[in-house]
Structure 1
Amino acid sequence: MNEAMAQERRSTEKSGSAGRQLKHFFSEYGIIAAMAVLVITLTILSPNFLSSSNMLNLFKQVSINVILAMGMTFVILTKGIDLSVGSVLAFSGIVAASLATGDGNTFLAVLAGLGAGLVLGAINGVIVAKGKVAPFIATLGMMAAARGFTYIYSDGRPISDLAPGYLSIASGSFLGIPIPVWIILIVFALCTVLLYNTKFGRYVFAVGGNENAAKTSGIGVSKTLIAVYCISGLLAGLAGVILSSRVSAGLPQSGVSYELDAIAAVVIGGTSLAGGRGRLWGTLVGALIIGILNNGLDLLGVSSYWQQVVKGAIIVIAVLVDRKRS
């Protein structure tokens, strides 16, 4: 009798262990399965989805959000948010385009675009870290200010007639792979090394996990916060350069609502809005899911208004899943 009960208990424990492992697997890698299901569904509904021309267009489109989302991941890991990335993107793109007109120096234009994003990101970081202003408020203010600077700098007009070298940033390719895809891979690799293989990366997780404990441990919380907003601004500047190159002009109205797609990619990818827990590869997959969804709905002729509804629902569902996981 006792032996039968012990055997039943062992069987129950084994079953429970298997259940926990399965739950852990789906918690960690369910996002990949979700992307696979999305790809299969869209392939069935639209035969053109997997065409080489559409895939090329998809990766060019998603490059902007991937880059923005990488920077956003650093910010959200510290329990912050950056609502200004769309406006910073627009300002950086306008600055870069203004120096790339005619026979302008492409290298100098790119540096100026990156520098503009870095400066605005640093301002965000100082306001949050030194001014003790809530990230939501600080970056909301920057969202409005940077958009205003963009219209002032450009006088509200597009900047076109860009140099061929500058245009090749988005249209060129290397080894048959579009340059924006190479940029995605480089940015992802650098961010991965920075976050998971440096002392700074450990500080980012520590500050997001428990800011007071991080201070007690001797971590420079203010420096860490300023740094993550600098990274977000710098990558927004890079995205602005790529976008202005892709559309062959610096557009003052570009980047509107791009912050929503970036936040959605980060949250869908499994990074917690509560800070201290997240993964860059998840952000990459999350951005791909957003891009695939946008592309697929366009191919199916779904109204852009409904696309916004779908993305909003996905963000809410992702947050609910994150809260349940926590």
Structure 2
Amino acid sequence: MQTSSTRASLAVLRSAPALLFVAVVVLFAILAPRFLEVQNFANILTQSANVAIVAVGMTFVLLLAGVDLSVGAAMYVCAAVAGLYFKDLPAPAAMALMTAIGALFGAINALFIVGLGIAAFIVTLATLFVGRGLALHLSQTKMVFAGDPVLAFGQGGFLGISYAVWTMAIVLLLALWVQQWTPYGRYLYAIGADREGARKAGIPVRRVVFATYVLCGTLAGLGGFVSFSQVAAASSGFGLQKEFPVIAAAVLGGTSLFGGRGGVLGSVFGAILIQTVQNGLVLLNANPYLYPLVISAIIFIAVLLDSQRTRILARLTRRQIRIEPGVEARRSTAT
């Protein structure tokens, strides 16, 4: 009976983000009638695209039981370099440039994490400040403007859907394929669940970890490009504290901070949920100073849900371990 109750609680926790999303939609639909307009939902998808793209990369890192706090700084560095030195590049070339810079940023993180064995939290916290300081130095703390080709990307679309949403969809589909159908995807879960066991099983742990931080940086650069094309300029606050909604999106979507559980589809859903809340607050003309409080509340809820899921799964695992020896003993006696 207790096990059934525990499993029911786990099911509720897993469905909590969906229930929260429904509650948010119903609440804002009542308070702000314009919220239910089709164009408003299209705006939500467009505005959530950059967070969702970066959240996909963060999901892979979290699956390893790692973290990358420098994604916002990587976005700012990419935008500063592109806006200052390559303003006239066509949009595809600017996108490739910014993703390449993001990949380099991720590789620097990986060198310290994998090569020197420094904790990911410490390394990425340091590169957060280094990256933001570098971007501020390059821009002289002035606003950096996007070129016309990049602006055209941010304002354009195909079949009535913005290029930002198409980019998010392509990243999601590719990430789902990597997660579910490649050895690399399986390695992520194995390493996150038991790194030492994965190493003993012959999984190239160091290479996988290195590649994952490079991938996270790459998607941070791509997310930076999408955001840069939408806001048209990068001020000193561009990408500031972006790591928090990105991590919250991943955890809200079911990815565990402790590694080994989760997926990219849930992370994209989490990003859309966060943007839905922000959009509803704008329609209600809420005080802008409330926005950080709301985001912090969402982060708290995400961490609470994750800790509760982890606690219940650990309890179920312990029960299975205790039951198995008895089952084996009865089987031996029967034999």
TM-score, structure 2 normalization: 0.87
Where does residue 52 of structure 2 map in the other structure? 66
| 2:294 maps to 1:307 | no
| Amino acid corresponding to residue 132 of structure 1 in structure 2 | G
- Residues 65-96 of structure 1: CA distance to partner in whole angstroms, max 9, x if unpaired? 10111111011111111110111011111222
Deviations 1:11-49 (A, max 9, x none): xx7x986x6775454343332222112111111111111
Choose the corresponding residue for 1:109, options 52, 77, 94: 94
1:161: how far off? 6.0
Q: Secondary structure at the match of 1:48?
A: helix
**1:178 partner letter:** S
Q: Matched residue of 1:133: which SS? A: coil
Kindly indicate whether residue 237 of structure 2 is the aligned counterpart of residue 229 of structure 1: no
Q: Does 1:202 align with 2:186?
A: yes
26 and 91 in structure 1: CA distance in 2 versus 1, 3 angstrom threshold: same
Structure 1, unaligned runs of 5 or more: 1-12
- Mark the CA change 1:106 to 1:99 in structure 2 (over 3 Å): closer, same or farther: farther
Alignment match, 1:3:
none
Among 188, 196, 210, the residue aligned to 1:212: 196
Deviations 1:249-291 (Å, cap 9, x if unpaired)?
2434300011100011111111111111112221111111111
The aligned residue for residue 136 of structure 1 is 121
Equivalent position SS for 1:204? helix
Cα shift at 1:160: 2.4
Cα distance in 1, alignment partners of residues 167 and 91 from structure 2 = 16
Moved more, 228-237 or 304-313: 304-313
Check 1:273–1:152 CA distance in 2 against 1; reply closer, same or farther (3 A cut).
same
The structural deviation recorded for 1:130 is 1.5
Establish whether residue 181 from structure 1 lines up as the match of residue 165 from structure 2. Answer: yes
2:12 equivalent to 1:26: yes
| Aligned residues of 2:13 and 2:305 also touching (Cα < 8 A) | no
Q: Percent identity?
A: 35
Q: Do residues 156 (structure 1) and 141 (structure 2) align?
A: yes
Cα distance, 1:161–1:207 mapped onto 2, change above 3 Å: closer
Determine if the alignment matches structure 1 residue 123 to structure 2 residue 108. Answer: yes
Q: Which runs of 5+ in 2 are unaligned?
A: 311-335
Answer yes or no: is 1:47 the counterpart of 2:49.
Answer: no
Structure-1-length-normalised TM-score = 0.89
Q: Over aligned residue pairs, what C-alpha RMSD do you find? A: 2.0
CA distance in 2, matches of 1:88, 1:65: 13
Cα offset for 1:100?
4.4
Amino acid at match of 1:266: A
How many Å separate the matches in 2 of 1:21 and 1:300? 38
Match of 1:82 in 2: 68
Cα pair 2:245 2:299 within 8 Å, conserved: no
Aligned counterpart, 2:332 = none
Aligned-partner SS, 2:33: coil
User: Structure 2: how far apart are the matches of 1:313 and 1:76?
Assistant: 21
Question: Which residue of the partner structure matches residue 97 of structure 1?
Answer: 83
Alignment of 1:269-280 (within 5 A): 269-280=253-264
